[in-house]
Structure 1
Amino acid sequence: MRYLTLYIEISVLCVMLLVIIALQSSVRLNNPNYKRSYINAVVCTMFYVSFDCISRVASYGKGREYIDLLYVFKSMYFVSETVMGYLWFVYFEYVLGKGEEYQKRKEVLNSIVMFFVFINFFICVINSQTGIVFYYDKDLTFHLGSHYVLQIVLAYIYLITGSFQAFSKLFSSDEVIDRRKHATLAVVPFIPILFSIIQIKFNWMPLISASVTIVSLLIFFATQEDLISKDTVTALNNNREFMRRMYDEVAKLRDDNFAVIYLLVFEIDKIDVIGREQGNDEVGKKLKAFAKIIEDLSVDANRKAIVGRIKVNEFALFMKIYYRESEPDKQLYEERAIIRELKSDIKNAVARYNAREEQLYNLDVNIGVSRYKIEKNGVPNCFKEAEENMRKDRISKEQIKRAVI
């Protein structure tokens, strides 16, 4: 019975961990299809672990009296394994940037997986009489059948496909965080396969259930930036979500001749000094204060700007300006007037905050501005120009301070 207790304890722990990561990933909204695919995969994994535990419990005690029910629970365990593999594959599609392709092929892929589920169910029905996949002996000891490999193929064919897709993306990724993410997705599907082989020898431990839970955690840690769209400190858009929304607006700009996009980047000065001398609480206070300032001003006067925290001490804001004038010179003057007004409002709001709060270090912000140009690498170039102008603003302030001293 101590093995049964251990089995139950590990299974309950696995389910609790899965509940926690499901709740964590659903706290902050990102792309709904993206998030839904992850939640679906995690919930199915919970059922998978639960069926494993229930079938194990049922094999003890009065299992001999309910042998048919025991086969039903174990069959549901195997069927849910097939569904789980497919749902994780769907999530992989979104992570690898193939969400639109999946949406186009969704009906076909769903039909294929339903066929696989039917085949799996049919095999389980036959298995109840023949034991070709699994069977219980007279002592209710679980054994694998001669055709158990069929179950492995049905359960992991989709995951292995997703793994190879991630592996192919690994070498084409430019960013380190993307390479790490793709490397994780390429490797993790083989962990439950390995543990399923090990469990053949150590049948008294829920190795497969534990391994799929570990895999779920690894995937979450590797892709949490994709799942979570809000910065945990300021509740603004995080870097990935900010960039996604900016690229969406840039794509629309190509068909709009009466609008232009401006990018502003902000750097809170001396944030490292504040952290070193006053601690992280004061840093968080400064970050939240400035986040509230730009968030309030982004919607003021119908600006409808998008704001986000893109680095530790950097924020960004982009806004689409619609022309009221028709002549190019007047349009340029109109743009600059709007940006000057926004910068002035931000500086005034920061000054009011500093006057209101008693603090060792004032909230000091450097600002850089750039106008988006429709060109190859337009967004990265726009950021480079804005950050260069922000650097010039910082140097200018330092020179003024030295001159005053």
Structure 2
Amino acid sequence: MPELTIGPLTVTDVVLAPMAGVTNPPFRRLCREAGELGARQAGYEGISGLYVCEMVTTRALVERHPETMRMIEPDPGDPIRSIQLYGVEPKTVGAAVRMLVDEDRADHIDLNFGCPVPKVTRRGGGAALPWKLDLFTAIVEAAVDNAGGIPITVKTRVGIDADHITYRDAGRIAQDAGVAAMSLHGRTMAQHYAGRADWDTIALLVEDLDIPVLGNGDLFSADDARAMREHTGCAGIVVGRGCQGRPWIFTDLVADSHGSTVRARPSFREVSAIIHRHAEYSIEHFGDELRAMREMRKHITWYLRGFSVGGERRRELALVATLDELDERLADIPDQDYPDAAEGPRGRAGTEKKPHLPEFWLDSRQLSADQQLKIQAAEVNISGG
């Protein structure tokens, strides 16, 4: 049965990866609705998957930063409220988890140890953190100890670079600490999104652990998801860039997971209706039409991929300021079938990059006294959501 069990939760084995500036409640709602359509088409009556909010910092959460509090607002129709936390100081991570539990704000909490962005890793966070075994252990244990029965999961990468691999140690520590599942992106921090994800690493982690292991990396279609399951034996798949401008991929993923061959290939007019609904959800969420439309602009660019629109109209749509303006500009574009060019990889792959790390970070797998002090400062400095 293609279901994923995480603590007391049982869902279809499909997860929306948290993405900064992307997986806010309006976009999560669209993805969930698409997944629920796939479930109905496959005759499945359970929960269609996990749809995780964009990463929030633990310090900003504990401080109740207004924008961070907005970020953790749930998609109002989601039966499972999933929140991803980033933190580098165990006490603060524990306090953030306890806050979410005590205030009944989450049903599932994920810990981010996979972010490769320099502003995070140069402070020792994200994909850099599992190199320090003592710090990683303390953070995971603090989260589990304060979770009150809510399942904690961990997301990480293969390592910092090919010479500094961390995922198998991290998996063992996380399992021993009591996490409910672990997700692995089959790339190192240095790779960012370059090259191909190494699915063999996911297969090895599946062999290592008794808890569910979820696979992430280069999932752009239902065929890719099926191939990953077959190659790795993973308990679930985590989709990130593959859904940008394409929330209907969750119809395909959930339907395929339950044995259906149904695939969503929306016409331009149908995509326009999805864009309109996305904009309406965004205006409702932000309570500010101009801000909502500014947030929509990147999504509109992704939605238009592969369609015959024209450069000038694309530029006009990238500057929309109101819902009426959006509708007018979309209505001017002739309807057309879903193009093959809209399929395939999404997002910028780029090239490998030199890891940005704290000074002397790779000298030892344990924190030095000086690094301990700097880690505490980093937690404060990154405050702000």
TM-score where L is the length of structure 1: 0.22
Q: Which has the larger radius of gyration?
A: 1
> Which structure carries more helix by proportion?
1
> Which structure carries more strand by proportion?
2
Quick one: higher RCO (CA 8 Å, sep 6+), 1 or 2? 2
